[in-house]
Structure 1
Amino acid sequence: MSKAIELTAAENPEELLKLKVTEPKTWAAGIPAVYEAGKDVLKEDGVIRGLTALFHMNKKGGFDCSSCAWPDPDDDRSPIAEYCENGAKALAEEATTKKLTAEFFAANSVADLAKLNDYEIGKKGRIAQPVYLPKGGTHYQAISWEDAFKKIAAHLNTLETPDEAAFYTSGRTSNEASFIYQLFVREYGTNNLPDCSNMCHESSGTALNEVIGIGKGTVTLNDFYDTDVIIIMGQNPGTNHPRMLTALEKAKKNGAKIIAINPLREAGLIEFKNPQTVKGFLGFGTTLADLYLQVKINGDMALVKAIEKLLYEMELEEPGKVFDQAFIKNTTSGYDAFIEHLKNYDTEELAEQAGIPLPQVKEAAEMLKNKSRIIICWAMGITQHINGVDTIKEMVNLVLLKGSIGKPGAGLCPVRGHSNVQGNRTMLIYDKPNKKQLDKIKEVFGFEPPRQNGLDVVESIKAMHEGKLKVFFAMGGNFLSATPDTTYTAEALRKMKLTVQVSTKLNRSHFVHGEEALILPTLSRSDKDMVNGEAQFISCENSMGVVQMSKGILEPISSDLLNETQIVCKLAKATLGSRAVVDWDKYANSYHEVRNAIEKVIPGFEDYNSKVVKPGGFYLPNAPREGKFETSKNDGKAIFSITNLPVHQLANDEYIMTSIRSHDQFNTTIYGLDDRYRGIHNERRVIFMNENDIHNAGLNPGDKVDLFNYHGGITRAARLFIVVPYDIRGRNTATYYPETNVLVPIDSVAEGSNTPTSKLIIIKIRKHSK
């Protein structure tokens, strides 16, 4: 291993800035959001370029925001701004006029760039040309596209087996590029397709596929406007999906009640000041949560069981009035066994385990008692636990008891993070494809795809360590910062013979690399995509199964960029050569032809090219919306599940830590150093603690501490954090990721989905030692 690689940092610098703490906000958005949204765009992109892009983002005929996957309205879009503050910040970074050429890389070594924090790295600008880091090199240097493809192909073709390569996918990747990517990987000969779903909603897909027959949500955006109760669990929409606040506001105006369930009191669940209304502009807001249940970290399953037990007791008093017995009889299986299991629980004990006073649990049950139009939403606060799959199954149990699925205003809503992460999976980006999918690929394209399961994210990292992988190719994303056990993952990546990153801008994964490394620059969502003189458009799928077109409108910052589909097709030609069966030139030259191919392989995409250009796009088939459940039992019924409560035993000096985003952040991209909703300014290295816990540990607010995890007998350390008192349950703490991903053990994963348990880590806290 070269000295240059040894000196390259694996994570953010362990240094503090000048923290300022203010009172947490009790409302979200308002005029400050408007100011923050516009500030970055104008600074990075200029007035004309910036405002032009903002006007077209998320509009019909415009381009999809590269941030979250919250759906656009089916009807009229906002004439003012169909985007949120974080969407504008995402646009500012991708539409910036700052560009990184060979001269930049010649002047900045990999080791020096790694010393920057993630915020500084992201602000450097767009990568303008392909660059290459040779073995033992200290600086990336220019390389032609042709030579880059030859180099990757040479590595891939000298492997003993295709299974020695892994091909990662980020949620930014379009439907077209995702489909072509998996097609190349499978013609090359492997199913090693780890993707960002493995780390976020894999638990959702695993649970929902098993019990309702589809790994997606069952509601549409319009269902939010026609419902009685919305339950929001393990999700902070004010920061992670701000456009959801508008839907919640409309739901409230139409009479819906909202139950918020979260370990922290979040501004975006309390009140929303809509800056696009006169009322909101003047500073008046809409109260969102009618009932705020501040659970212990991972107390969600206990809370749902407590509510179910109370509802069952109400049903015994008024048979047929609380549970939808006709729905249960005709549309579900396993009800009797579920009820027998539920009887074993004591409601008071469940409430205590959840961390919620029993009267509040009873209030929640009363709100649901006579309602059937119920929507349950959730995100990472549910999925990234060892029992994440079972907690989602328990939430489905509640919906089935109430008959709250397959009807307007009711159903399940896993709120996806990245804008096309759901579309990636629909496009067959999956390490465990089924026989029917593979048979269809063989039928349409004429080659035999590999049949054995590939590697997911956690399995890929372990395989790197074990020497079973030699080449790692990433289609977007920031793999190092997104994954668990940062030091372990960095060691794994450094064992690779070659790492390749398809990127729009710099991130930390470019500095933690294999013996050789390549960065391949690609177009962003807002860029014009011209192929052979013809403007192309891509398509994406949002959280609610709507597929719509996305067409960039800005001039790219460099003429030396390729779109993702071209990158894959050119790599396929270089790698497969004469043994290729697929006509890669055809797909490189036209997204239209790619969509024709998708139509032949994936159900629901009939007349793809015609339907996708219609304003607002089209909905994919969703059987549970129609009351049909195509589970493995093949009886057309949804399945009640029997789940068991998790047990967490803490030593006297141990705490549970959950990782969260700041408001100035999207996934691993850091837009700024403030988290104004939580009152944190100019700092990210903080740990939120219960005030009594601070006192009992002999600490004071503002103390500098080090955090440790000892899972599996291994010491993991995240050093130099500042203690901040916050409204959170005792022995529970919260920190920002990716700074504390180093504490997430590679072997701590959700049962059934293999998702890293980033939302529940056992830590010890010590005063900082230099």
Structure 2
Amino acid sequence: MTEKRPEGIEQYDAPAGGWGALKAVASTLAHQQIVAQGTATLLKANQPEGFDCPGCAWPDPKHTSSFEFCENGAKAITWESTARRVPPEFFAQNTVSSLWHWTDHQLEDQGRLTHPMIFDHDSDRYLPISWEDAFATIGAELGKLESPDEAEFYTSGRASNEAAFLYQLFVRAFGTNNFPDCSNMCHEATSVGLPQAIGVGKGTVTLEDFDSADAIFSFGHNPGTNHPRMMTTLHNASRRGVPIIVFNPLKERALEKFAAPQNPVEMATLSSTPIASAYHQVRAGGDLAALKGIMKIVLEKDAAALAAGRHGIIDRAFIEEHTTGFEAFRKDMEDAPWDRILAVSGLTYEALESAADVYINAENVILCYGMGITQHRHGTANVQQIANLLMLRGNIGRTGAGICPLRGHSNVQGNRTVGITEIPGPSLADGIERAFGFRPSIIKGHNAIETAEAIIDGRSKALVCLGGNLAVAMPDPGAIFAGMRKLDLAVHIATKLNRSHLLTAKVSIVLPCFGRTDLDTQASGPQAVTVEDSMSMVHASRGFLNPPSEMLRSEPAIVAGIAKATLGNRYGIDWDFLIADYDRIREKIEVVFPDFRDFNKRIRVPGGFRLDVAASDRRWKTPSGKAVFLLAPGLDEDPRQSDPEALVLTTLRSHDQYNTTVYGLNDRYRGVFGRRDVVFMNRHDLAERGLSEGDLIDVSSLVATDGAPRTVSRYTAVAYDIPRGSIAGYYPEMNTVVALSDYDPASGTPAYKGVPVKVVRSDPA
């Protein structure tokens, strides 16, 4: 007899992609009421004269490719280009207090915002406000602050280079470097860790390198959901026999088998291509131990080869000419005890050896990683050990080899490149002085964690958000919600309504902006913006749809309007002149950042251009002028994991989700339909606690440094193929059990993927 499973939990055995993906997109198009327009819009995505998909940051093949179908990219596009609207009448019918009880999915599913709105405390509703009055109000409120450092300026990765550049210019002219941004929550460990190791906080590979790779290693990411266009690259690599070695706690369907919707044979025959040639289910928080185990084996086999009179395995010429720190690194590997490596990683010696053998036998290796590596207490160390592994055999700075951090938003990397950083250096100050005649402060500002702490403590009085859903994205949402309600000013530049907009301050304003698909017309005519993908390619993006309302403005125009109202003519910056023609913004970017030389000329070439990544050419912009083998003492991520009750929680995105945006309630590759209130657990971990699949459970953080308990209650336990000692639940709901103090001290990245928790049966009452 088949065991009855919890409601909405089913076995799903189909491959990723294929007809399931086509069906999901058709359903999304119909739901958003844009079937005819939506199909035409999808055909312009990622095309030379089209717009850049607002989804992932995976690059385009020379940005001149034919249509590449991508399910979650299609969802992102239709979500933005929806026919649904949220006009002033919507707010007249719904108080903020009543909207608070809607789900996050319901809020965003209402459609595009159409008018600037200001919150009225007496009626508990948002009311229309003119753009001029909105800008004047914001400028006046910012002017009341005792110090510019009492304001926080958040940036979402979806902002264009032009909007982000103007934003950082405005904020630095205002007088602060408080720049929390979504990089702080995802790949800050990369931005901090890689410059120390190889001199640049970006990946070293190009898309073409994958055509020459002899092996691809994949650590801590789920491309089928979070960067789906990567599946074409992995699909092609697998079909030409390249081993793809995966390390991830859960078996993600797209890394198991994938049916390419563009492949007529696979679609017609209902067949698919296996992706991973080996799938190692590392324990949550065990990546550092796994990496050390692989490197320890490589070094042991190198020593054995030399002792037997054979050639060594490691690339001694590369190590001697291009690196420092190797001997200390070698000793650290020798001292790492095998019993702890195996216990912490949750893998066998044989599994680690098989991975090491693939690495040794491949001439050119690319190693890809995602937030499963970075969102840990030792995220920076994880990233640096990945660099160490590649350097052992010279797999950085040559064709077909290198490091590949997988970014999320399509311009999160570009935002950082054009100045969105809380840690500005002298070169940025020099550039702004060249371009605008004033020298901004280079005193470190707040990152996302520090911003949250300042808001909760009442030290920050104002928050301006260029996109995003900051309150929901951060750990400790209860504390952040309370802190945001105490602010004097909250400003949200957004395309859609979300929960952060409902956390009303003394003055709360929502400003509707264009999306990527919208036609942006300024004084000089239609405009293009630019974005940078995860491989440092910069290209143009041109929307073509009529905006949802005549009242919408572009992000650059909104930033300029706020700046003008706040600063007046300070430093002689002519904000109106800059936004009249975005070429003028790009000319200033080129002055501030010389790597953008001939920006306007190169951006008009189909495919755009690649920014200089010195490490790709084995130029190491480190203090020593060489790449550095860096140490990561120990193996354990968090001492609380030694608690006998501890399980390690990793947070996940469902397949119907992008970051905090929830498109729907299905996660079909994991067999979850119509719900999100589930926790995935190993059957043995359930049994040890006297639990069974379907039981209602409470998940609580082990005591944080502040001593406060954090619990999510009455979630349904789902038995799942996940390593013992690891559990998983959906982000952002599980953020409740993540403390602000649970972060990587080196980078400030929250440890969403390695939180020690305990699980108990829910109280029936």
Sort the TM-score into its range (normalised by shorter chain): over 0.9
Is 1:685 matched with 2:674? Answer: no
User: Equivalents in 2 of 1:257, 1:173: separation in Å?
Assistant: 36
Work out which of the residue numbers 758, 761, 766 in structure 1 matches 2:760: 766
User: Equivalents in 2 of 1:581, 1:19: separation in Å?
Assistant: 63
Change (3 A) 1:679 1:311: same
User: Equivalents in 2 of 1:377, 1:190: separation in Å?
Assistant: 35
The answer as to whether partners of 2:689 and 2:760 remain within 8 angstroms in 1 is no
- Residue equivalent to 2:635: 645
User: Equivalents in 1 of 2:394, 2:500: separation in Å?
Assistant: 46
Equivalent residues in 2 for 1:456-535 (5 A)?
Answer: 456-532=447-523, 534-535=525-526
- Residue equivalent to 2:187: 201
Q: Quick one: which amino acid aligns to residue 277 of structure 2?
A: D
What are the superposed Cα offsets for residues 714-754 of structure 1, whole Å, 9 maximum, x if unpaired? 01121221110001111210000111111110111112101
Q: Quick one: which amino acid aligns to residue 652 of structure 1?
A: P
Shift of 1:642: 4.5
- Residue equivalent to 2:55: 67
Shift of 1:75: 6.5
- Residue equivalent to 1:711: 704
The answer as to whether partners of 2:69 and 2:261 remain within 8 angstroms in 1 is no
User: Equivalents in 2 of 1:715, 1:116: separation in Å?
Assistant: 26
Shift of 1:255: 3.0
Equivalent residues in 2 for 1:328-343 (5 A)?
Answer: 328-343=319-334
Work out which of the residue numbers 324, 341, 345 in structure 2 matches 1:350: 341
- Residue equivalent to 2:11: 23
- Residue equivalent to 1:726: 720
Q: Quick one: which amino acid aligns to residue 727 of structure 1?
A: D
Shift of 1:336: 1.0
Q: Quick one: which amino acid aligns to residue 455 of structure 1?
A: H
Q: Quick one: which amino acid aligns to residue 661 of structure 2?
A: T
What are the superposed Cα offsets for residues 634-691 of structure 1, whole Å, 9 maximum, x if unpaired? x244444354312543433332111000010000000110100000010001000010
Is 1:581 matched with 2:585? Answer: no
The answer as to whether partners of 1:310 and 1:347 remain within 8 angstroms in 2 is no
Q: Quick one: which amino acid aligns to residue 472 of structure 2?
A: S
Shift of 1:432: 0.5
What are the superposed Cα offsets for residues 263-315 of structure 1, whole Å, 9 maximum, x if unpaired? 01111111111111122202111111111111100111111111111111111
User: Equivalents in 1 of 2:44, 2:398: separation in Å?
Assistant: 34
User: Equivalents in 1 of 2:614, 2:62: separation in Å?
Assistant: 20
Identity %: 40
Is 1:544 matched with 2:531? Answer: no
Equivalent residues in 2 for 1:398-437 (5 A)?
Answer: 398-437=389-428
What are the superposed Cα offsets for residues 468-492 of structure 1, whole Å, 9 maximum, x if unpaired? 2111000000111111111011112
User: Equivalents in 1 of 2:632, 2:693: separation in Å?
Assistant: 43
Is 1:268 matched with 2:254? Answer: yes
Shift of 1:38: 2.6
Shift of 1:467: 2.0
Q: Quick one: which amino acid aligns to residue 279 of structure 2?
A: Y
User: Equivalents in 2 of 1:119, 1:674: separation in Å?
Assistant: 12
Any runs of at least 4 consecutive aligned residues in structure 1 with deviations exceeding 4 A, and if so which?
A: none
Shift of 1:530: 0.8
- Residue equivalent to 1:667: 659
Work out which of the residue numbers 158, 177, 181 in structure 2 matches 1:191: 177
Shift of 1:26: 6.2
- Residue equivalent to 1:77: 65
Is 1:34 matched with 2:25? Answer: no
Q: Report SS of the residue matched to 1:306.
A: helix
The answer as to whether partners of 1:529 and 1:536 remain within 8 angstroms in 2 is yes
Is 1:102 matched with 2:93? Answer: no
User: Equivalents in 2 of 1:388, 1:381: separation in Å?
Assistant: 9
- Residue equivalent to 2:746: 752
Shift of 1:97: 1.4
Equivalent residues in 2 for 1:235-246 (5 A)?
Answer: 235-246=221-232
- Residue equivalent to 2:276: 289
TM-score, structure 1 length as denominator? 0.95
What are the superposed Cα offsets for residues 14-51 of structure 1, whole Å, 9 maximum, x if unpaired? xxxx9411114363111110121232124314233111
- Residue equivalent to 2:618: 627
Q: Report SS of the residue matched to 1:681.
A: coil
Shift of 1:351: 2.5
What are the superposed Cα offsets for residues 43-93 of structure 1, whole Å, 9 maximum, x if unpaired? 314233111111101112110111111111127513xx3241111111111
Change (3 A) 1:25 1:206: farther
Bigger Cα displacement from structure 2, 745-754 vs 435-444: 435-444
Q: Report SS of the residue matched to 2:90.
A: helix
Q: Report SS of the residue matched to 1:360.
A: helix
The answer as to whether partners of 2:341 and 2:635 remain within 8 angstroms in 1 is no
**Residue ranges of structure 2 left out of the alignment (5+ in a row):** 1-5
Work out which of the residue numbers 296, 300, 303 in structure 1 matches 2:290: 303
User: Equivalents in 2 of 1:192, 1:643: separation in Å?
Assistant: 32
Change (3 A) 1:223 1:502: same
Q: Quick one: which amino acid aligns to residue 687 of structure 1?
A: V
- Residue equivalent to 2:3: none
User: Equivalents in 2 of 1:357, 1:136: separation in Å?
Assistant: 63
**Residue ranges of structure 1 left out of the alignment (5+ in a row):** 1-17
Bigger Cα displacement from structure 2, 130-139 vs 82-91: 130-139
The answer as to whether partners of 1:321 and 1:370 remain within 8 angstroms in 2 is no
Shift of 1:377: 0.6
User: Equivalents in 2 of 1:294, 1:622: separation in Å?
Assistant: 33
Work out which of the residue numbers 737, 751, 754 in structure 2 matches 1:743: 737
Bigger Cα displacement from structure 2, 646-655 vs 193-202: 646-655
Shift of 1:516: 1.8
Q: Quick one: which amino acid aligns to residue 170 of structure 1?
A: S
TM-score, structure 2 length as denominator? 0.96
User: Equivalents in 1 of 2:196, 2:542: separation in Å?
Assistant: 36
User: Equivalents in 2 of 1:550, 1:31: separation in Å?
Assistant: 29
- Residue equivalent to 2:197: 211
The answer as to whether partners of 1:372 and 1:403 remain within 8 angstroms in 2 is no
Q: Quick one: which amino acid aligns to residue 288 of structure 2?
A: M
Shift of 1:136: 5.1
- Residue equivalent to 1:602: 593
Bigger Cα displacement from structure 2, 409-418 vs 447-456: 447-456
What root-mean-square deviation, in Å, do the aligned CA atoms of Structure 1 and Structure 2 show? Answer: 1.4
Q: Report SS of the residue matched to 1:386.
A: coil
The answer as to whether partners of 2:303 and 2:312 remain within 8 angstroms in 1 is no
